[in-house]
Amino acid sequence: MPRLSGKFDKCTGCKRCLLACSQEMTGDLFNPRLARMCIQEVSAGLAHTPVVCAQCENAFCATSCPADAIYNSDGVWIIDPDRCTGCGVCVDACPLRVIVTYNGKAAKCDLCGGAPRCVDACAFSALELA
Amino acid sequence: MSYGWMGNLLHVNLSDGSIKEVPLNDRIKEDFVGGKGFGARLLYDMVPESADAFSEHNALMFLTGPLTGTLAPAMRGCAVTKSPLTGTFVDSYFGGDFAHEIKFAGYDGIIITGRSPGPVYLSVTPEGIELKDARDLWGLDTLKTAARVREAVGAHHAPKVACIGPAGENKVRFALINCDPNRHAGRGGCGAVMGAKHLKAVVVAGNKGVRVKRGSGFMEAVNGALAEMKDNPYILAFRNDGTPGSVPFADLEGLLPSYNYRGGSFKQAHKLDPAAQKSEFWLRDAACFSCPIGCSKVGMLKRGRHRGLVTDVVEYESAGMIGSNLGIGDTKAVAYLTYLCDALGMDSISAGGVVGFYLECAERGVWGNPDHRFGDPSLVERLLLEIAHRSSETGDLLAEGVKRASARIGRGAADWAVHVKGLETPAWGVRGAPGMGLAYMTGDRGGCHQRAFPILYEVGGEYWKSAPVKRLEIEGKAEIVSELQNYLAGLDTLVKCDFGQYGISATSYARMLSEATGVDMTPSDLSTVGERIWNLVRLFNCREGFGRQHDSLPRRFTSEPLPDGPAAGHMLDEESCGKMLDEYYRLRGWDAEGYPLPDTLQRLGLMQGG
């Protein structure tokens, strides 16, 4: 499975990726806080860094999940909504802060099944699936 | 369930500290849509006739539109109030994140009335809405204020701040509101009204989502708009060069003010253009929230006194007003002086206007230090500080704007006070572009280039209704101006970005709006909304005593021929202005004094309650 990555040298901080992610997860809502990624501002606004799920080898989210709801499928960590209790441990365990809770369940980047909306939404080529 | 709109306004009365939610009714949504439209309706209804802009009777509003906060490309917000600079209605637009955050907090706008006894800031977060003590923030510049307020609320909320600097606190009549991240509701003194209310900042963070009615139709409309923008030459130019891309054009065409508008070109213009800015500091493109253009540039000055300063692109208006208009041909200096205006919280257009006015006074020996000259960045820095803090006689005088300052100085100073209705004009000379002159004369907030920009047709070569436009012709310009004003006022309800609209068609705007709200509107409906707004704002201004005699141009443009450029020798004499105005009033359905006629108001549904 390819990896998603963000480039601070291209990112303009427009956050269209976050809105697309939010709409993808919720179906009809726009709010960057509902995105399963974030944009970090660094050096007094000198740059913005897109932060995306690293699909870690040692995934703290999966390891910390008390319900064993996070499993690996072909290199992508997926949350099983039937097992997820929405306890929020994975949200706090993720050092990148890219897991959110929505409607009582945890939600994380699943690469939109291989065609991420965020990459498509970026007009500045700051997100790459490679 | 509300679509596009969040359905509520937040009303905070600073006098008694009361906070309440006011539901939007269907009438205001359909007649006025949002942004400028809501502002026009609410200001007319809420602010009593002849209220002092600095009194508790004035209202200050932060308004969004139904497309703000969504994937609709390049949307913004606006601040609306009665201007302390002009005494008219003023709407001032800002990009960045702040307007979108108002939607995420669950509101279509925040209305501030009354006046707090002491400095406060308004905090709107998922934890609650409250007024907080801002005594320890009073005196801080805008950038420090925003950082401190964000810290107080907590980074985990990712809060967005709108705040004032010392200029707003000291009621400098052209003080701005700095909106995260360093975008500005710049014109007309909205920041001074905020200062008069003792409101240092508004901070907002919200967990609510903006919902659209027809999701797939909305995304089709958004993708249509994006496709239009993709190869549009104006959009590409904004992407590559930002607004200073206009510097070489304006210089060549004699439209770039120099030395307090005496000239229309500047020998050192090439030192302010995109190439100069790139070589001195640009590092990357920056975009406002949900904007695919990225016309802003961010970088770090690499040479000179201010080496290491992280700052934004010197926008065209600042390059013109702080650069050429003050005789400063040095990107580094202008970048710093513009940064200083932002940090002190003053509109760089008006600041360049008042300093240019002062320098001409000094040069003529009419006021101030006769040794003061154009082209001196250190002097301009001192003057900006004195204005923001009102810390000298000259600074205190210039803080009032050129109209009041020239009246107080006398000795003919009004002859070189360049303003319309008290608003210092922006960096576009009009002697070689009569339609632009009419746009200034009739601008609802005074001398403004954003209500209509006929230069695009008169000088830029764009066809108007499939026909070329003669640059210096007087006849026919009124039609261009009035129709552009209506169209753009319609889009200012959404709330559109001035640059985005170069690439997005009327059809796309109407489609995105219809799909988002479920209320179907055509491009022509949007223009009608714009015309309704334009007339209601005119009623507000007429109620404040404005009429034909105020729809005029400064003497510099009517009586002193342009010395340079392709339109050298031209000016807009009183007779030409009168002809354009007659034609304009006729097209608008206003009487010869500029008052809307009953039939016009009837047609636009403005007869009752307005």
Residue of A nearest to B288 (CA): A14
The pLDDT value given to residue B489: 98
Can you tell me the distance from the alpha carbon of B592 to that of B200, in angstroms, rounded to the nearest whole number? 43
Q: Is B407 on the interface with A (CB under 8 A)?
A: no
Can you tell me the distance from the alpha carbon of A61 to that of A99, in angstroms, rounded to the nearest whole number? 9
Can you tell me the distance from the alpha carbon of B334 to that of B427, in angstroms, rounded to the nearest whole number? 14
In a domain, B550, yes or no: yes
pLDDT > 90? residue B596: yes
Alpha helices in B231-289 (DSSP H): 233-241, 246-252, 274-280
In a domain, B214, yes or no: no
Range of the domain at B185: 8-204
Smallest Cβ distance to A123: which of B284, B289, B292? Answer: B292
Asked if residue B46 and residue B194 are part of one domain, the reply reads yes
Type and span of the H or E element at B484: helix B477-491
CATH number assigned to the domain comprising residue B277:
1.10.569.10
Asked if residue B457 and residue B420 are part of one domain, the reply reads no
Token pair listed for A127: 């997100």
> A19: which chain B residues are within 8 Å (Cβ-Cβ)?
70-71, 290
Final residue of a structural domain among B395, B424, B453: B424
Asked if residue B149 and residue B17 are part of one domain, the reply reads yes
Asked if residue B162 and residue B265 are part of one domain, the reply reads no
Work out the burial of residue B413: count CB atoms within 10 Å of its CB; fewer than 13 is exposed, 13-18 middle, 19 or more buried: buried
pLDDT > 50? residue B517: yes
Interface test with A, best of B213, B239, B283, B298 (most A CBs within 10 A): B298
Closest to B294 in 3D by CA, of B235, B339, B342: B235
The pLDDT value given to residue B1: 83
The pLDDT value given to residue B610: 44
Mean pLDDT of B575-591: 98
Smallest Cβ distance to A16: which of B71, B209, B298? Answer: B71
Can you tell me the distance from the alpha carbon of B31 to that of B407, in angstroms, rounded to the nearest whole number? 41
The pLDDT value given to residue B468: 98
- Residues B304/B319, Cβ–Cβ less than 8 Å: no
Confidence of residue B252 (pLDDT cuts 50, 70, 90): very high
Mean pLDDT of B409-427: 98
Work out the burial of residue B426: count CB atoms within 10 Å of its CB; fewer than 13 is exposed, 13-18 middle, 19 or more buried: buried
Long-range contacts of B249-254 (CB under 8 A, 24+ apart): B249/B460, B250/B316, B250/B320, B250/B427, B250/B428, B251/B324, B252/B565, B253/B432, B253/B459, B253/B565, B253/B566, B253/B567, B254/B429, B254/B431, B254/B432, B254/B562, B254/B564, B254/B565, B254/B566, B254/B567, B254/B568
Q: Is A87 on the interface with B (CB under 8 A)?
A: no
In a domain, B234, yes or no: no
Helix axes B331-344, B142-153, angle to 10 degrees: 50
- Residues B401/B424, Cβ–Cβ less than 8 Å: yes
**Cα atoms found within 13 Å of the Cα of residue B207, Cβ hemisphere only:** 10
Closest to B63 in 3D by CA, of B87, B88, B43: B43
Residue of B nearest to A19 (CA): B71
Mean pLDDT of B432-454: 98
- Residues B478/B492, Cβ–Cβ less than 8 Å: no
DSSP B597: P
Asked if residue B381 and residue B310 are part of one domain, the reply reads yes
Confidence of residue A45 (pLDDT cuts 50, 70, 90): confident
Q: Is B298 on the interface with A (CB under 8 A)?
A: yes
pLDDT > 80? residue B213: yes
Asked if residue B445 and residue B408 are part of one domain, the reply reads no
Can you tell me the distance from the alpha carbon of B38 to that of B62, in angstroms, rounded to the nearest whole number? 10
DSSP-assigned states of every residue in B327-396 = T---HHHHHHHHHHHHHHTB-HHHHHHHHHHHHHHHHTTSSS-TT--TT-HHHHHHHHHHHHHT-SHHHH
Distance from CA of A74 to the nearest CA of B (A): 30
Work out the burial of residue A128: count CB atoms within 10 Å of its CB; fewer than 13 is exposed, 13-18 middle, 19 or more buried: middle
User: What is the per-residue pLDDT across B7-26, written as a single tens digit (0 to 9) for each?
Assistant: 999 999 999 999 999 999 99
Final residue of a structural domain among B372, B399, B424: B424
In a domain, B583, yes or no: yes
> B298: which chain A residues are within 8 Å (Cβ-Cβ)?
45-47
Token pair listed for B461: 């070569």
Asked if ipTM goes beyond 0.90, one says yes
In a domain, B228, yes or no: no
- Residues B210/A31, Cβ–Cβ less than 8 Å: yes
In a domain, B483, yes or no: yes
In a domain, B152, yes or no: yes
Domains of chain A: 4-124 (3.30.70.20)
Can you tell me the distance from the alpha carbon of B30 to that of B456, in angstroms, rounded to the nearest whole number? 31
Final residue of a structural domain among B152, B178, B204: B204
pLDDT > 50? residue B359: yes
Distance from CA of A99 to the nearest CA of B (A): 14
Helix axes B348-363, B401-409, angle to 10 degrees: 20
pLDDT > 80? residue B608: no
Q: Is B152 on the interface with A (CB under 8 A)?
A: no
Asked if residue B534 and residue B558 are part of one domain, the reply reads yes
Smallest Cβ distance to A29: which of B211, B287, B300? Answer: B211
Token pair listed for A64: 């910390």
Can you tell me the distance from the alpha carbon of B351 to that of B544, in angstroms, rounded to the nearest whole number? 25
DSSP-assigned states of every residue in B136-194 = TTTT--HHHHHHHHHHHH-GGG--EEEE--HHHHTT-TTB-EEETTTEEE-GGGHHHHH
Token pair listed for B357: 């006015």
Asked if residue B82 and residue B40 are part of one domain, the reply reads yes
User: What is the per-residue pLDDT across B463-516, written as a single tens digit (0 to 9) for each?
Assistant: 999 999 999 999 999 999 999 999 999 999 999 999 999 999 999 999 999 999
High-pLDDT (> 70) share of chain B, %: 100
Asked if residue B264 and residue B127 are part of one domain, the reply reads no
Work out the burial of residue A115: count CB atoms within 10 Å of its CB; fewer than 13 is exposed, 13-18 middle, 19 or more buried: exposed
Q: Is B309 on the interface with A (CB under 8 A)?
A: no
- Residues B432/B565, Cβ–Cβ less than 8 Å: yes
CATH number assigned to the domain comprising residue B496:
1.10.599.10
The domain total for chain B is 3
CATH number assigned to the domain comprising residue B134:
3.60.9.10
Asked if residue B364 and residue B290 are part of one domain, the reply reads yes
Smallest Cβ distance to A31: which of B104, B293, B296? Answer: B104
Can you tell me the distance from the alpha carbon of B129 to that of A70, in angstroms, rounded to the nearest whole number? 37
In a domain, B221, yes or no: no
Can you tell me the distance from the alpha carbon of B5 to that of B29, in angstroms, rounded to the nearest whole number? 8
Interchain CB distance below 8 Å, A23 and B206: no
Q: Let me know how long chain A is.
A: 130
Asked if residue B597 and residue B459 are part of one domain, the reply reads yes
Asked if residue B275 and residue B164 are part of one domain, the reply reads no
- Residues A35/A19, Cβ–Cβ less than 8 Å: yes
